[in-house]
Amino acid sequence: AQSVSQHNHHVILSEAASLELGCNYSYGGTVNLFWYVQYPGQHLQLLLKYFSGDPLVKGIKGFEAEFIKSKFSFNLRKPSVQWSDTAEYFCAVNEGGFQKLVFGTGTRLLVSP
Amino acid sequence: DGGITQSPKYLFRKEGQNVTLSCEQNLNHDAMYWYRQDPGQGLRLIYYSQIVNDFQKGDIAEGYSVSREKKESFPLTVTSAQKNPTAFYLCASLNRGGTEAFFGQGTRLTVV
């Protein structure tokens, strides 16, 4: 069965630190990949997505992610976090053509000022 | 405007009762999904449907049922067999290429 793993459940950083959140998936075929963010008390918001082309994807708010097919990974990065990045981050994978959309368990990021 | 509408926003249920959560979309999407969100567990897939009159179990389908009689509608019934139904339920749809997902505002179900 397809699965999505986010190994970091909680991350605490100081402002201006660099961020990298891991995401690995198990499906071996064509995939579409997403990162969503959920700010406290708010609904899911799309940060970025990959479905083809350049494996380095840039999203909103200075976030980017790199798709490494050989590692089945789609890690999220940001060079310098801000206090306002405090939120929960979810990776999601859609098997191309199969339409099953699966989410990881999420990573709670706390950025201290 | 196109989108997904979930209703109600808040729902209270007595133990032993079935309850149905509504999800309607006007995006003309074939694929629709139901997730359950609990703290620390992310979004877990309950059921999904790729086409009218067809649906598949997700990872936590026990105690839930769905129907897909119309393309626009994908209601979720939380049955009395669901041992821990109190949660936030989120409905979603996916465009044909699988490149864009849309989410409803969610329904918070509380069993009292």
pLDDT in tens, B18-46: 999 999 999 999 999 999 999 888 899 99
Instruction: Compute the average pLDDT of residues A79-108.
Output: 90
Distance, CA of A90 to CA of B99 (rounded, Å): 16
Nearest residue on chain A to B89, judged by CA atoms? A43
Residues of chain B with Cβ-Cβ distance to A48 below 8 Å are none
Q: Which of B50, B100, B103 sits opposite A99 (nearest CB)?
A: B50
For residue A112, the model assigns a pLDDT of 95
Distance, CA of A81 to CA of A34 (rounded, Å): 20
* DSSP states along A47-93: EEEESSS-SEEE-GGG-EEEEEGGGTEEEEEESS--GGG-EEEEEEE
For residue A41, the model assigns a pLDDT of 85
Residues of chain A with Cβ-Cβ distance to B102 below 8 Å are none
Q: Minimal Cα–Cα distance from A18 to chain B, Å?
A: 23
Distance, CA of B106 to CA of B112 (rounded, Å): 19
Architecture of the domain whose range is A4-112: Sandwich (2.60)
Q: Is A100 an 8 Å CB contact of chain B? A: yes
Instruction: Compute the average pLDDT of residues B70-88.
Output: 95
Residue with token string 């897909």:
B68
Instruction: Compute the average pLDDT of residues A97-104.
Output: 82
Q: Which of A49, A100, A103 sits opposite B99 (nearest CB)?
A: A49
Q: Which residues of A49-77 are buried (b: 16+ CB within 10 A; e: fewer)?
A: bbbeeeeebebeeebbbbbeeeebbbbbe
Residues 1-30 of A with CB under 8 A from B: 1, 6, 9
Most confident of A2-6, A100-104, B13-17, B59-63: B59-63
Cα separations in angstroms, B87 against B28, B33, B83, B109:
28, 16, 12, 6
Taking 90 as the threshold, does the pLDDT of residue A62 lie above it? Answer: yes
For residue A43, the model assigns a pLDDT of 85
Instruction: Compute the average pLDDT of residues A4-22.
Output: 95
